[in-house]
Amino acid sequence: MARFDIPDGWTMQAYRFALDPTSQQQPVLRSHCGASRFAFNHMLALIKAVMDQRTAERSYEISETELTPPVGWSLPGLRKVWNQRKHEHAPWWAQNSKEAYNSGLDALARSLENWATSRTGLRAGKPAGFPRFKTAGRARRCVRFTTGAIRVEPDRHHIVLPRVGRIKTHESTRELARRVEAGTARILSATLAQDSRDRWYVSFQTLVAAKTRPGHVHRSPRPVAGVDVGVKADALLVIATPDGCEVARVQAPKPLTAAHARLRVLQRRAARQQGPYDPVAKARRRPSKRWQTTTARICRTRGQAAAIRRDVLHKTTTHLAQQYQVITVETLNAAGMRSAGGVREKGLNRALADAALAQIRQLLAYKTRWYGSVLVEADRWFPSSKTCSGCGGRKPNLTLADRVYRCEFCGLSIDRDRNAAINLARLGETRLSKVGEQGCADSGSVPGRGAIRKSEPARAGEAGGCETSTPSQRELGSTRTASPQGEAA
C-alpha cells in the first residue's frame, strides 16, 4: 500500500478536539460508524467465502485457472466490488457519506496487508492474525473522512464534516485554526470516534510546517539529561545530568490507584446486576438498564484516570524536549516487566500499568524531532541501575527492594533512581559532539550503546558533582582509576 511522502520542511501532527453534538446529530454519527463497520464485515465475509470456496475446489483437484476468481485485497479492488454489491446488500447506503464505507474498506485492506506481510516475515513486531468481524457492542465506533467539506470554522468553536454538517466543539480550536489561516497547516483527514465514556472526538491529521522551539522557551544550561523511569509515587521520572546533579524529580500521579476504591465499589455493583452473560445457562442475555448505567460509570472513571495520566506525561515530555539538547531514556520491555517472569504479581502489574512506562519514550520520539533535540535510546540490557556512577563498578545482585545504591568498591551511597539517571546522561553525552557537528539533521531518535547481559564491571564515567554523599569519596580519588576487578582481587 502506497505511503504518503511528507515534503521537506513539513511534518505530520494530529489535533484532537472533544465534540458536543446535538441530540439530532448523535444518531447521524452512530449511523456513519455503523456503515463503516457494515462495509468491513460484508467484504470480510465475502473474502472468507471466496477463500473457503477456492480451498474446497483445490481439494477436488481443480486447476488453478478454473478456480473461483479471488477478490482483490487492495483498497481500489475492495471499493470496486463494494460499489457493485451495495445496491443489493445495503439499499440504505445513500443515507451516509461515501467516506463511511471507504473508511471500513480501508481498515480491511490494511488488516489484510498486515496479515499477509506478517506471514511472510516482512512485518516487524508481533504476528498479525487474520481480520475478525467487528461486533456492534465491542468494536470501537470510528469513521474517517478524507474528502469533502472538512474544515475548522472561523468562530473557533465549530467544525464541518461531510454529510454530518456543522458540529460544536467542547473546546476551542484556535490553535489549529490559526495555523490553517496562516498557511502553515493543511488538513488531510478527520477521524470521528467515540470513546468508552460516550464522548465524541474528532482528530485532524494535518501537515504542518516544521515546528521549532518556541521563542519564549530557553535551553537549559546543561544540554544533556538522563531520564530514569520508575513506579514509585515520588519518582515517576528522575532527571539528572552527566556531572551528577539531579535536575528534577517528577511525581507519579497514580490516577488508577486513586480511583481503585471507587472502581471496586462499581465493579462489585455491576457483578450483582444482570449483565450480558448468564454464567449458569452459559448464554448471552439482554443486559439490564442498571448494569448499563454502572458500566458507563466504570468507563468514565477509567477514562478520567487515563486523562490525568496522559496530561502529566505530555507536559513532562514537552518540557524535556524543549529544554535539553540530548535526552537519554531506556528501552524498557514494559510487557515483560508486567509478566514478572511468568508469576502474576497483582500489585506490581497494576503499578506498572498505572505508570505507563512505555509511553514516555513514544512521546519523546516525535517531540524531539519537533523541537530539534536528540533522543538516545539506551539498549534494554544497559545496566544503568547496577552500575556505580562514582567508580563504574557493577553490582549484579541489585533487587527492586534496594532503593539506595551502595557501591562495594568505592563506598558510594546514592539513591537508586538518581544513580541510573546519571549513568543514562553520561551515555547520551557521547552524542553531544555529533549534534554540534550535524545540527538539526541529527535530531530525532538514535540507538544508544548496547550492553552485554553479563554483569561484569564497566566504567560509567568519572563522578564529579553533588552526587557524592559520603566524605570518603575525595579520599578514594586515587583508587577510582583502578579497575574494580583489581580491587576485588
3-state secondary structure of 81: helix
What is the rounded CA–CA span in Å between residue 421 and residue 468?
14
- List phi, psi (to 5°) of 470: -130, 140
Contacts of 364 (CB under 8 A, 6+ apart): 317, 320, 321, 327, 329, 375, 445
Please state the three-class secondary structure of 15-36 as a single string.
Answer: EEEEECCCCCHHHHHHHHHHHH
3-state secondary structure of 276: coil
Q: How many residues does the chain have?
A: 489
Give one DSSP letter per residue of 359-416, joined into a string: HHHHHHHHHHHHTT-EEEEE-TT--TTTB-TTT--B-TT--TT--EEE-TTT--EEEH
Residue pair 376/423 in contact (Cβ under 8 Å)? The answer is no
Residue pair 208/11 in contact (Cβ under 8 Å)? The answer is yes
Query: Within 13 Å and on the Cβ side, how many CA atoms surround 253?
Result: 20
- Please compute Rg for the chain using Cα positions: 28
The CB density around residue 283, as the number of other CB atoms within 10 Å, is 8
DSSP state of 137: T
63 burial type by CB count under 10 A (0-12 exposed, 13-18 middle, 19+ buried): exposed
Q: Partners of 159 in the beta sheet?
A: 152, 167
The residues annotated as belonging to the active site are 228, 330, 417
